[in-house]
Amino acid sequence: MDKVVVITGASSGIGAALAEAAAARGARVVLVARREHELKEVAARCRGNAAIVVADVTIRADVRRAVAEAIQRFGRIDVWVNNAGRGISRLPSELTDADIDLMMSVNVKSAMYGMQEVLPHFRERGAGQVINVSSMLGRIPYALPRSAYSAAKHFLNALTANFRMEVQARFPGIRFTIVSPGVVYTDFGLHALHGGHDSRNLPGGQDVGVVADAIVDAIESGAEEVYTLPGARERVVDYYAALGAS
């Protein structure tokens, strides 16, 4: 796979696994996150095909710098993966302004910055792919303590779809992909705002490598809607059909 892939949130979890999976298929990867030591460890596992950018993707200037450094290093960007995110454990009736602000900053605004800052490069080339890592909670809000996270991912899905509509009207070679995993066996849950359960102890989850491979497949195929769990798409359809029937 002769592509340059930029991955945010690449120091652990899905981002780190994706970096290794993409590099294993021949991609050159640019790893973006705040933790330099962890980024260097991930880069070392990418067979010499990785560069790192230490940046906070909730800051637009940092995202703009990441775009510039990726292009400077590899000459172009083919795929931009907005993977940075954070969960929350708080009932909807207890949410504060600060809770909502953080969920929007980490899960929505960081992705918006990525899309907006890489878009001029993609327009200039007439091609490119944005992959936004969403969640099944962005389709079905079934986890009550994750209400603000779920809402942020719903927002991200709508924003992605509208970017697709706007951009592809003039640049059909630029693609926007939404990836919706379910529970993934990482330490994501442990880092949730206000604490959380270890995702690795929850039922019905997936190994992070399986999710990473599904994202690499989406890069190779250009698919625009990806569910990593078997039967997940049907579950979403059934959920909204049941709402309509009530």
* CATH code where residue 116 lies: 3.40.50.720
| 149 classed as catalytic | yes
pLDDT at residue 198 in the model: 76
Instruction: Please state, in angstroms and rounded to a whole number, the distance separating the CA atoms of residues 191 and 33.
Output: 15
Averaged pLDDT, 87-112: 98
Percent of the chain whose predicted confidence (pLDDT) is above 70: 99
Specify which residues 30 forms β-bridges with. Answer: 6, 51
Residue 207 has pLDDT above 80, yes or no: yes
The dihedral through the CA atoms of 54, 57, 60, 66 has a sign that is positive
pLDDT at residue 47 in the model: 84
Buried-state track 183-213, b at ≥16 Cβ within 10 A, e below 16: bbbbebbeebbeebeebbeeeebbebebbbb
Q: What is the DSSP letter of 229?
A: S
pLDDT at residue 26 in the model: 95
Calculate the alpha carbon distances from 82 to 7, 15, 74, 241 in Å: 6, 9, 19, 30
pLDDT class of 245 with cuts at 50, 70, 90 = low
Q: CB–CB of 157/178 below 8 Å? A: yes
Which residue did the predictor score with more confidence, 196 or 27?
27
Calculate the alpha carbon distances from 200 to 20, 88, 100, 163, 180 in Å: 20, 16, 26, 33, 18
CA-based angle 24:28:34, to the nearest 5? Answer: 100
Q: How many domains does the chain fold into?
A: 1
Specify which residues 79 forms β-bridges with. Answer: 5, 129
Instruction: Please state, in angstroms and rounded to a whole number, the distance separating the CA atoms of residues 42 and 20.
Output: 8
Q: What is the mean pLDDT of the chain?
A: 95
- Per-residue pLDDT of 115-173, as tens digits, reads 999 999 999 999 999 999 999 999 999 999 999 999 999 999 999 999 999 999 999 99
pTM of the predicted model, to two decimals? 0.95
pLDDT at residue 189 in the model: 85
Single out the residue of 147, 174, 142 nearest to residue 160, CA to CA.
174
In this structure, what token pair is assigned to residue 193?
Answer: 């705002």
Averaged pLDDT, 27-40: 97
Catalytic hit among 149, 185, 227, 239:
149
pLDDT at residue 108 in the model: 98
Calculate the alpha carbon distances from 13 to 39, 83, 167, 232 in Å: 12, 10, 30, 21
pLDDT class of 246 with cuts at 50, 70, 90 = low
Residue 217 has pLDDT above 80, yes or no: yes
Residue ranges making up the domain that contains 116: 4-245
Mean pLDDT is lowest, of 43-52, 65-74, 192-201, for 192-201
Which residue did the predictor score with more confidence, 134 or 202?
134
